[in-house]
């Protein structure tokens, strides 16, 4: 029994035994997902991909499988029942895959509040997923949407690719480089900030919100909030505010802080300095006046006093002698 027959048998058993996911009234449909992906392609200068019923069946089968087996999107959503991949499931559903063809896939598991825009412009905003949606050689597409019991919605997008064909719109795709995401980001020329600091981007031909946001380093939601956009649809020539002018703030004037007075330290006198000063005073005291020591000065004072006393005695004796002489008679 071939691998293809085994997969078909497993798919039938899975559908018969395991209940498939359900869709709420407000859940986006597979058609909504394809419409949004084709709008993205048109905005990027690519043709819309035609829907293929076999790919629709394969994608829906995988979405139902994930809704039952994948707990809160914590699984490898590219692996299906029996370990199959997108190419196997598409062939089992009846999609004809010739030489040089393949089926590429993108999947996502999001909470109930997420929209298709969230899936495309957030979950699938990286280069690999954008490469699936913006593949220049895409020739057919199918999608599936299913809701699990824990409230997660699973999205599966299968794209048939005929490499080298230029896709379903060869006249347009031939001008787009193979790395679609890199090429589209490069098409966005960043605007120069205005005098007030605000940045306003003028939408160019083929530009979309996702590659404008990538060029300016912001998110799609930030651009939508700044411009009150209710959807991801933008038009050529439309002005989009990417950054608001910064709010001016008053710069406070510098205040002078008075310096606290500082005390000049007084050097402490050491015992050695005190002893030196005392010895110098004692030496000066011993030398006395005119450089004489105490003993010499004492002898000099005695001699001076003795001489003075002698002069006093001699003066007194001279006066007494003159009084005793009688007056002379002429």
Q: How high is the pLDDT of residue 272?
A: 53
Dihedral sign (CA 325, 326, 327, 330): negative
Residue found by looking up tokens 């105490």 in the block: 294
Query: What confidence score (pLDDT) does residue 187 get?
Result: 62
Element (H, E) at 107: strand 101-110
Q: Beta partners for 241?
A: 200
Cβ atoms within 10 Å, residue 182: 13
Whether the CA torsion 55, 58, 59, 60 is positive or negative: it is positive
Separation between Cα atoms, residue 304 and residue 310, nearest integer Å: 10
pLDDT at position 247 is 78
pLDDT the model gives residue 109: 93
Q: Per-10-residue mean pLDDT for the chain, 330 residues long?
A: 50 45 67 95 93 96 94 85 92 92 94 90 90 93 94 95 73 35 54 90 83 83 91 86 81 67 62 52 53 74 82 77 59
pLDDT value at residue 190 = 86
Cα→Cα distances 87→55, 90, 91, 95, 144, Å: 10, 5, 6, 9, 15
**What is the pTM for the complete model shown?**
0.50
Report whether 182 contacts 189 (CB < 8 A). no
What six digits make up the tokens of 10? 């497993």
- Cβ atoms within 10 Å, residue 88: 19
Alpha helices in the chain (DSSP H): 3-17, 30-43, 53-69, 86-92, 116-118, 127-133, 170-173, 180-186, 209-216, 220-227, 271-287, 294-324
Q: Inter-axis angle of helices 209-216 and 220-227, to 10 degrees?
A: 100
Give how far the C-alpha of residue 219 lies from the chain's centroid of Cα atoms, to the nearest Å: 14
Instruction: Please name every residue paired with 259 in a beta bridge, in sequence order, or none if there are none.
Output: none
Token pair, residue 34, equals 């394809």
Q: What is the pLDDT of residue 80?
A: 92
């Amino acid at each position: 029994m071939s691998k293809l027959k085994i997969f078909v048998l497993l798919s039938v058993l899975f559908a018969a035994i395991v209940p498939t996911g359900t869709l709420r009234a407000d859940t986006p449909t597979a058609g909504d997902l394809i419409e949004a992906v084709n709008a993205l392609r048109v905005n990027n200068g690519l043709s819309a991909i035609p829907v293929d019923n076999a790919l629709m069946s394969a994608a829906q089968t995988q979405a139902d499988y994930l809704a039952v087996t994948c707990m809160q999107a914590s699984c490898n959503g590219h692996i299906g029942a029996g370990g199959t991949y997108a190419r196997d499931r598409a062939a089992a559903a009846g999609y004809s895959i010739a030489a040089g063809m393949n089926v590429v896939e993108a999947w996502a598991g999001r909470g109930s509040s997420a929209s298709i825009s969230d899936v495309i412009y957030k979950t699938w905003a990286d280069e690999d997923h954008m490469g699936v949606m913006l593949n220049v050689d895409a020739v057919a597409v199918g999608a599936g949407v299913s809701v699990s019991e824990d409230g997660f919605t699973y999205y599966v997008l299968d794209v048939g690719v005929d490499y080298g064909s230029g896709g379903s719109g060869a006249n347009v795709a031939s001008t787009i480089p193979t790395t679609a995401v890199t090429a589209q980001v490069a098409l966005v020329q960043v605007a120069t900030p205005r005098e007030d600091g605000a940045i306003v981007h003028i939408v160019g031909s083929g530009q979309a919100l996702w590659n404008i946001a990538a060029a300016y380093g912001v998110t799609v939601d930030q651009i939508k909030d700044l411009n009150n956009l209710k959807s991801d649809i933008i038009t050529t020539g439309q002005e989009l505010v990417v950054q608001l002018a910064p709010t001016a703030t008053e710069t406070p004037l510098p205040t002078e802080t008075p310096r606290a007075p500082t005390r000049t330290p007084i050097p402490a006198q050491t015992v050695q300095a005190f002893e030196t000063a005392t010895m110098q005073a004692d030496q000066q005291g011993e030398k006395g006046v005119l450089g004489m020591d105490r003993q010499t000065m004492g002898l000099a004072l005695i001699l001076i006093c003795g001489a003075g006393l002698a002069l006093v005695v001699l003066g007194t004796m001279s006066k007494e002698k003159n009084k005793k002489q009688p007056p002379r008679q002429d």
